[in-house]
Amino acid sequence: MDSLKKGGLAVVIGGTGGIGAAMLEALNQSGAFSETIGHSRTSEPAIDLLDEQSIIRAADAISSRQAQLRLVFDATGFLHGGGFNPEKSLNAVTPAHMAHAFAVNAMGPALLMKHFLPLLAPDGKSVFATLSAKVGSIADNQLGGWYSYRASKAALNQFVHTAAIELARRKPEAVCVALHPGTVDTGLSSAFAKTGLKVRQPAEAAALLIAAMDRLAPAQSGGFFDYHGKRLPW
């Protein structure tokens, strides 16, 4: 990442997932950072998006590092599992499904921003990026369905946009964005890929996302972009 000062610290949250693991590997190989750290529910310290105290412990561990924090990449997300699948109709919507989707896809990343944005380097470009999804776009919704996932990602986009406004007052060179990775061959999304839709391998997705983050400027902070850095509609 040529747009960031060399020798900084990069953190990947959800570093054991498909995109997260590929991102961690790509950042390690880039030579742009003095250290890259992956956090997950099994790391030490662990991060569980449903437990704010775990996020605080991880942030405290990062704050004790000597290198300046230049990049935080949040690769977490929930689409299905635990008996939940994307709802095809309004009749399938349940409070339990909605609560879990919002907890993981919106509230969890909001808490990451709460505790990690203050740790970003005080000067020069730094990046906080979280994985959103194009289906979270209200303007782009032509098919309906997937109520909990769509709504929770739309909420995430609002959190990102609002947090970026506050961040700019303190760190005007920082970038806080939501990124759509496309359909990637992971357990989260590949099972729902439509016929004819390009499904990327995690390594390719990570490379595209890194290039997109590298091109983003502080003036674009608070935006919603795809893996090519193209702005997506809210």
- Sign of CA pseudo-dihedral 149, 210, 121, 119: positive
Q: Mean pLDDT throughout 85-95? A: 97
Global pTM reads: 0.95
Is a pLDDT exceeding 60 seen at residue 195? no
Distance CA 125, CA 175 (A): 7
The per-residue pLDDT for 190 is 53
Could you tell me where the beta strands, DSSP code E, fall in 40-193? Answer: 69-74, 126-131, 174-180
Q: Per-residue pLDDT tens for 68-81?
A: 999 999 999 999 99
Based on its alpha-carbon atoms, the radius of gyration of the chain, rounded to whole angstroms, reads: 17
Distance CA 11, CA 95 (A): 33
- HSE at residue 93, side-chain half, CA atoms within 13 A, is 13
Confidence bin at 100 (pLDDT 50/70/90): very high
For residue 43, count other CB atoms closer than 10 A to its CB: 15
Confidence bin at 194 (pLDDT 50/70/90): low
Distance CA 174, CA 117 (A): 9
- Assess contact for 156 and 130: CB atoms under 8 A: yes
Alpha-carbon 187 to chain mean position: 16
- Assess contact for 213 and 127: CB atoms under 8 A: yes
Architecture of domain 8-226: 3-Layer(aba) Sandwich (3.40)
Q: Per-residue pLDDT tens for 55-71?
A: 999 999 999 999 999 99
Q: Mean pLDDT throughout 191-219? A: 88
